[in-house]
Structure formats: structure tokens, C-alpha cells
Amino acid sequence: MAIEQTRHARSGTFEILMSASYFLSPHVHLCVAGKQVVLLDLERDKYLSMAHAHPIGRWVRGWPTPAVDLTAPGEGASDAENPLLAKMIAQGLLVKDASVGKEASPAVAESPKYAMVEYDLNSRPRTTLAQFWRVCIAYTAAKWSLKRRPIKEVVQAARLRKERGSTSTLDAAVVRPLVTSFVHLRPLLYTAKDACLLDSFALVNFLAGYGVFPEWVFGVKTDPFYAHCWVQQGDFVLNDTPDYVRGFSPILVV
């Protein structure tokens, strides 16, 4: 009996793998947040979520879903009979060509443990006119890009710049004074409250001017749904607090 069950389990797994014939489009990113699987469509700048146990995983290669019960009602339905699958294909979220698409692997980012900068209202670090000028340039470029360019192009440009830059490990002793200067100078130009996208992009631009390329992380949480982004490197978060950002599941790491 044990042998028969093993054979059935292997047969079921093989059937699921064979039926997983779709891939995520390059502009689609994914994560598991709570009991939901969330997709970020950079092409449309929209999010889509569904239950973690949704049978869509039967058709999408690498989908992070619990084991599928092949005897469940509707599990044997064809591709065309699954309305969500049909919708995702029609909207270009899924493709069949493995050379174009990618497996539905969740984004991975290290869980931050430390804040790069400790906020102290009673002290103000020394900053220079050159640093202020660099903050102005970084902020202006970020604001213009986010207003005039699609988010997909913004992310692609940041990724390409990082790939062309240094790949060496960042030294906290070098990065900390730069981030400290940025944090103390930005209130002269804008407030970071409810402006995580602008603030993170401006910081990424600022650090790139010094040849520093940390990770720009986009995250989500559910119940209720909320999206956020921040800058981090390793277990240091540069423009937020570790306790807060750990409440989000990374969906895109640039």
C-alpha cells in the first residue's frame, strides 16, 4: 500500500510539472505575503493578488503554492476554462516561451536588522555645499523621472546603472556618513513622509554619484494591502527602520 501511494504521489507531481507550461513575463514580479500571492506588473504599474492556495500554480512554472490536490473540483479543467489564467494570458502577465519568460520565483532580500542612520534631533552632522548640490541633483532627477517616465523604465534604468557600477561589497563605514548627510539635507527639499518611492529613488541616485549601489527594495503586505519601498544593503536599511520594513514581503529587488 505504501508503494502504491508513493507511485501515485510521484505521478501527481509529474502531472503538475507537465501542466505548468506558462512563465511569468519579464516585467512581472511576485511574492508571498501572508495568505496571498501578490504580483507586481511593472508594465501597468499595478498589483494583482490571489489566495496562496489558488490552483493557478498548476499552470505556471515555479509558482509558490501548496501541493495541488488533483482530485479537487475543477482541477482537471483546461487552460481556457480557468478564468484567472485566461485573464493573465490576455494581459500579457504570462507567456509560453521559456526564452522570454521566467519562473515564478519570489523575490529575495535579506531581512534587515539594523538602521544605517540613527535619528537624533539634538545633533546635526557636518555637511558640505557639494553634498547639498548632489542631493538637489538626485532629488530633481528622481522627481522628474517618476513624473515623466513609466515606472518600468525607471526601474530598468536603475538596474542597468547598478550593473555597470561597482559590484564590490559596500563598507558601512563609507556608506553611513553619506546616508547621514542625505537624511539631514533632504528636509530642505522635500518631506519623506508618505513619499517612500521618491525618497528611495532620490537616495539611490545620490549614492550612485559616489559609486555606491545598494538594493532598492519594493515590498507589500496584505490584510489590508499596502505597498512600500526602501533602500538597504545586507542587513542594514538605509532610509527606514528595520522593525517597519520587516512587516513587508519583498516583491522586487533592484
Q: What is the DSSP string of the chain?
A: -HHHHHHHHHHHHHHHHHH--BEE-TTEEEEEETTEEEEEETTTTEEEEEETT-GGGGTBTT---PPP-TTSTTTT--GGG-HHHHHHHHTTSEES-TTT-B--PPP--PPP-EESS---TT------HHHHHHHHHHHHHHHHHHHHS-HHHHHHHHHHHHHHS--SPPPHHHHHHHHHHHHHHGGGT---TT-HHHHHHHHHHHHHTTT---EEEEEEETTTTEEEEEEEETTEESSS-HHHHTTSEEEEE-
Q: Residue 161's pLDDT is what?
A: 95
Residue 233: how many other CB atoms lie within 10 Å: 21
**Phi, psi torsion values for 48, nearest 5 degrees:** -135, 130
pLDDT tens, position by position, 175-186: 999 999 999 999
For the chain, percent of residues with pLDDT exceeding 70: 82
pLDDT value of residue 168 = 65
Indicate if the pLDDT at residue 31 is higher than 90: yes
Give the per-residue SS3 of 119-150. Answer: CCCCCCCCCCHHHHHHHHHHHHHHHHHHHHCC
Average pLDDT of the chain? 84
With cell 538605509, the residue in question is: 238
> How much is the pLDDT for 5?
33
pTM of the model: 0.83
Residue 162 has pLDDT above 60, yes or no: yes
Predicted confidence (pLDDT) per residue in 101-117, tens digit: 999 999 999 999 999 98
pLDDT band at 54 (very low <50, low <70, confident <90, very high): confident
**Across residues 82-98, what is the average pLDDT?**
89
Please give the average per-residue pLDDT across 226-245, as a whole number: 95
What percent of the chain lies above the pLDDT cut of 90?
Answer: 61
Lowest mean pLDDT among 46-55, 71-80, 226-235: 71-80
Supply the angle between the helices 196-208 and 151-164 in degrees, to the nearest 10: 30
Q: Is the Cβ–Cβ distance between 218 and 250 less than 8 Å? A: yes
228: cell is 512600500
The answer to whether residue 14 scores a pLDDT higher than 70 is no
pLDDT band with cut points at 50, 70 and 90 for residue 140: very high
pLDDT of residue 67: 46
The answer on pLDDT for 30 being more than 90 is yes
Tell whether the model's pLDDT for residue 12 goes beyond 60: no
